[in-house]
Every structure is written in structure tokens, then in C-alpha cells.
Amino acid sequence: MARGGAYRRAAAAVHAALALIATGAAPEPRLVWAFGDSLAAGYGLPPDRGFTAQLQAALRRDGSAVTVRNGGVAGDTAAQGRARLLWGLRGLQRTPDLVIVELGANDMLRGLPPEQAEANIAAILQVLRARQVPVLLAGMRAAPNLGPDYARRFEAMYPRLARRFGVPLYPFFLDGVAGMPALRQADGLHPNAAGVAVVVKRITPAVQRALKTSAG
């Protein structure tokens, strides 16, 4: 029975592919959803210079038919992201091929307990796993003024979550930008357009690997 079902699904996929070839229709671009805070939202930047726009452009330059949708809300903590997750998924009107989960920075900036952020990100990952949605988890580092104990607890949660849910981890979203004033906006926190370009250049290979794994 299982073999018959698998055969029928395979045959249906072949027929669908042949239909696309016959009609000349292009397959629908794969969908990446950047779900996070102001870093994903492109805070302070024109829409075409933010993270999602630059990531989509980079992926398409490399030959990937991908649409990147913005799921970032400035100021969101992990708890706020968790609260709007299902609403955001419904708004996409289709299941994404990959969700980049980028949350926790605002929890850290507010000095909230890392254990609280971890529990909320875990709840997000649990929902996505239940829906069989592939994830790339983007990590963050703690500000030095919060002290070594807080930094240790905060930064350890990302690899722990990646192991727990079996998802790939991009260790530090702002890699190459943190500590570089020329790549930050006047607030000293958010990357400018050039900084976003650095973020995108560094994270793109991880996104491509995650998309390849999800396709497999």
C-alpha cells in the first residue's frame, strides 16, 4: 500500500513537470521568510536596501529562483515574535520553503532573562517543525556591558536550540558588521545599506545550503 502511494505521488510529480514543460510555464519561485526584528525588517533603510531585498537580489544573482518576504517587526522580542507567528504564516498564503528565524536581540538589549528568550524561540521552532517548515536559525551576541555571565547564558541558547530542533545555525547575524562604525547607522545598532550588504554576503551561503537541504 505504501509503495503504491509513493508510486502515485512520483507519477503525479512527473506529470506536473511535463505539464509545465508543455505549457512553457516557469515554476513558482521558492519562498524564504525572514522572520525577526528590526534587523530582518531593514530598519532605517529604503525598502530596496534592506535585508530581505538585498538577500533576494543576491540569491537571484546566483541563479536561484527565490522570493524573500519580510517578516521582521522593529522592536520585537522573542515573545512578541512568538505571538504573531501563526498570523504571519497565514499572511504568506503558502508554506515557505525556508524560514530564517532572527530573534533575541531585543531581549538582550532589554536585559531580559536569556532563558525566557530561549523558551519563546523554542516555541517558534516547535510550531515550524510541526508544520514541516525548514528553518535557518540566526544567532546573536550579547553586548559587553551586560557582563560575562549574561553573555555566556545568552549566546549559548542558539547552538542549544539548533541541536535540540536539528536546524542549521548561522552563529552571528551581524558578523562582519558589529564593531565597524562605518557599517552602522547613526544609532550605533542597526547596519546601514553597506552593512546589510556585508550581512547578506556572509549569510547567503548558509541560506543556499538550507534551501538545498530542504529541496532534498
- For 22-48, the pLDDT digits (tens) are 445 567 899 999 999 999 999 999 999
- Asked if the model's pLDDT at residue 2 lies above 50, the reply is no
Catalytic residues: 38, 187, 190
Q: What does the alpha-carbon distance between residue 196 and residue 198 come to, in Å, rounded to a whole number?
A: 5
Q: pLDDT above 90 covers what percent of the chain?
A: 86
Q: Give pLDDT tens digits for 151-161.
A: 999 999 999 99
The residue to which cell 524564504 is assigned: 32
* Contact present, 165 and 130 (Cβ < 8 Å): no
Residue 5 is predicted with a pLDDT of: 52
Is pTM, for the whole model, over 0.75? yes
* Packing angle of the helix pair 78-92, 114-130 (nearest 10 deg): 20
**pLDDT for residue 8:** 53
Q: Could you tell me if 94 and 32 are in contact, meaning their C-beta atoms sit under 8 angstroms apart?
A: no
* Distance from chain centroid for Cα 49: 17
Burial (0-12, 13-18, 19+ Cβ within 10 Å), 133: middle
Q: What is the pLDDT of residues 177-213, one digit of tens each?
A: 999 999 999 999 999 999 999 999 999 999 999 999 9
Say if residues 136 and 206 touch (Cβ distance below 8 Å).
yes
pLDDT of 144 strictly over 90: yes
Lowest mean pLDDT among 19-23, 106-110, 124-128, 208-212: 19-23
The C-alpha cell at 141 is 551576541
Q: Which residues contact 68 (CB under 8 A, 6 or more apart)?
A: 32, 33, 34, 52, 53, 55, 56, 59
The alpha carbons of the chain give a radius of gyration, in whole angstroms, of 19
Fold of 28-215: Rossmann fold (3.40.50)
Q: Are 70 and 52 in contact (CB under 8 A)?
A: yes
Smallest CA-to-CA distance from 51 within 207, 195, 188 is with: 195
Between the alpha carbon of residue 19 and those of residues 13, 27, 117, 120, the distances in Å are: 10, 11, 47, 43
Q: Are strands 169-170 and 66-72 parallel, antiparallel or unpaired?
A: unpaired
